[in-house]
Amino acid sequence: MPKPAIKRPRVNVRRPDVMELVSAEVAVHYQSSLVEKIKDQDGKITCGNTTLLLAQDFGFCYGVERAIDLAYASRKVFPENRIFLIGEIIHNPEVNRQLREMDIVSLPWQEIDSSYDDLQPDDVVIVPAFGAPTSFMDKVEERGSYTVDTTCGDVMKVWRRVRGYAKDGITSIIHGKENHEETRATSSRALGIDGSGHFLVILTLADTDFLCEYIRGSGDKSAFLERFKGSYSDGFDPDLHLRKIGVANQTTMLKSETLEIQNRLATAIQDRDSAPDNFSVFDTICGATQERQDALFEMLKTRMDLLLVVGGYNSSNTAHLVEIGEKELPTFFIRDASQIKSLEEIVHFDLHQHAETTSNYANVFSGKEHITVGLTAGASCPNNLIEDTVRKVFALRGETLDL
């Protein structure tokens, strides 16, 4: 198909007059004066028989705020145009619902289908905070549509790193979830400008140990290719493309696990050929992700009866907060306050079963007149949902907040 006659540039919608309107609208949808007051009280509020602790860092990060602002601004700048979004702007149902109500239509992000062929030059396509694979960007450009790119700056830093690896003949070992939007976008950049680069995506420490044994020369090639099927670049040959490796990551992974993966791979390369130049690594964990994890670790030093983690079920950074919490105390991953049904019943997402479930936690409060509840939220969770959760907890304890 020939390219359209008009090649649209990427659009900067951050005009001062537009952003003033956007800020007001976003504030109404997502901000919370109650949450700000609790933050001003060092994240602690006690009312009657209940204390609630709020992590020092939680909720929207700068990259998420920017992405939402740009999506809202797109509708202000293009009030009559069709506006599309590749997948979801962020992993939060409430935010994506608001965009749907603004007639911003989601396009498939798993693959390019016929809906992309229907794009017109006057259409607007929003790239989400995770970014999008190069093939998707090429398709939008081919159709000549306007593009509003909300890709997080921390994600683009990783892209620059893996492109550099490809240029230097280094295979990118990407710590991430192979089917996550961000990891797919990063993998496409790991091929390099000319497409000659290679990548391998690994998720767990077990994956890492399997990879390390192959690097040391103990693995079976067919078993290796079968284990990681779908997680490596076309033409990937472990005998050729593991000679020089560089680690990168999905920016929302658990920092401690990424560091351990880096250490194990560095040791394997050293054991194989005593050539440190064959291993490269740079810190590409998102600062906001790290801050929220560190804040939770700090909060866990205080005795709590249970922990609530609020966010979208498909939010990677939120899931890692749940992983941290559940090692220490009863922890419940909820989308919003409506899932706290009563003092005895919480509907939540079980990371191990990969499904929503209902848990009875009455025994947590057995014999206790006063309880302490911890609360944190992923980087894609708005403050209004956090406020709803705070109020629900106190209401179920028979307390009414006067803040």
pLDDT in tens, 27-71: 999 999 999 999 999 999 999 999 999 999 999 999 999 999 999
Residue percentage of the chain with pLDDT more than 90: 86
Structure confidence at residue 366 as a pLDDT band (50, 70, 90)? low
Residues 6+ apart with CB under 8 A from 165: 171, 172, 190, 197, 246, 248, 280
**Is residue 335 a contact partner of residue 93, using CB atoms and an 8 Å limit?**
yes
Q: Residue 360: its pLDDT value, please?
A: 84
Which candidate in 88, 181, 182, 387 is catalytic? 182
Residues belonging to the chain: 403
Strands (E), 188-256: 199-202, 245-249
Percent of the chain with pLDDT over 70: 97
Q: What is the pTM of this model?
A: 0.91
SS3 363: helix
Kindly report, as residue ranges, where domains of CATH 3.40.50.11270 are found in the chain: 62-152
Amino acid at site 15: R
Rounded Cα distance, 377 and 372, in Å: 17
> If we measure between CA atoms, which residue out of 31, 69, 30, 84 comes closest to residue 150?
69
Q: How confident is the model at residue 5 (pLDDT cuts 50, 70, 90)?
A: very low
Mean pLDDT, the chain, rounded, equals 93
The verdict on whether 182 is a catalytic residue reads: yes
In three-state secondary structure terms, 229 is coil
Q: Which CATH class is domain 159-285?
A: alpha beta
* CATH number for the segment(s) 62-152: 3.40.50.11270
Cα separations in angstroms, 125 against 109, 119, 159: 12, 9, 21
pLDDT in tens, 278-321: 999 987 778 888 999 999 999 999 999 999 999 999 999 999 99
| 203-248 confidence digits (pLDDT tens) | 999 999 999 999 999 989 999 999 999 999 999 999 999 999 999 9
Q: What's the pLDDT tens digit per position in 342-356?
A: 878 899 999 999 999
Coil, strand, or helix at residue 225?
helix
Question: Looking at per-residue confidence, does 169 or 364 come out higher?
Answer: 169
d(CA 63, CA 66): 5
Find the range with the poorest average confidence among 91-100, 146-155, 361-370: 361-370
Distances in Å between the Cα of 33 and the Cα atoms of 39, 247, 317, 379 are: 10, 41, 25, 18
**Residue 1 above 50 pLDDT?**
no
- What is the distance between the alpha carbons of residues 194 and 181, in angstroms, rounded to a whole number? 22
Closest alpha carbon to 77 in 122, 135, 134, 130: 122
User: Cα–Cα distance between 126 and 71 in angstroms, integer?
Assistant: 7
Q: Where in the chain is the domain with CATH 3.40.1010.20?
A: 29-61+288-396, 159-285
pLDDT value at 128 more than 50? yes
Mean pLDDT calculated for residue range 105-119: 95
Amino acid in the structure at residue 155:
V
Q: What own/partner pairs with CB < 8 Å and gap ≥ 24 does 116-120 have?
A: 116/140, 116/143, 117/1, 117/143, 119/84, 119/143, 119/144, 119/145, 120/82, 120/144, 120/145
Give pLDDT, residue 288: 87
Buried b (16+ CB within 10 A) or exposed e, 387-401: bbbbbbbbeebeeeb
CATH topology for 29-61+288-396 is Cobalt-precorrin-4 Transmethylase; domain 1 (3.40.1010)
What pLDDT score was predicted for residue 2? Answer: 47
Q: Is the pLDDT assigned to residue 197 strictly greater than 80?
A: yes
User: Which of helix, strand or coil describes residue 337?
Assistant: helix
Q: Is it the case that residue 101 has pLDDT exceeding 90?
A: yes
Q: What pLDDT is recorded for position 248?
A: 95
pLDDT in the model for residue 6: 61
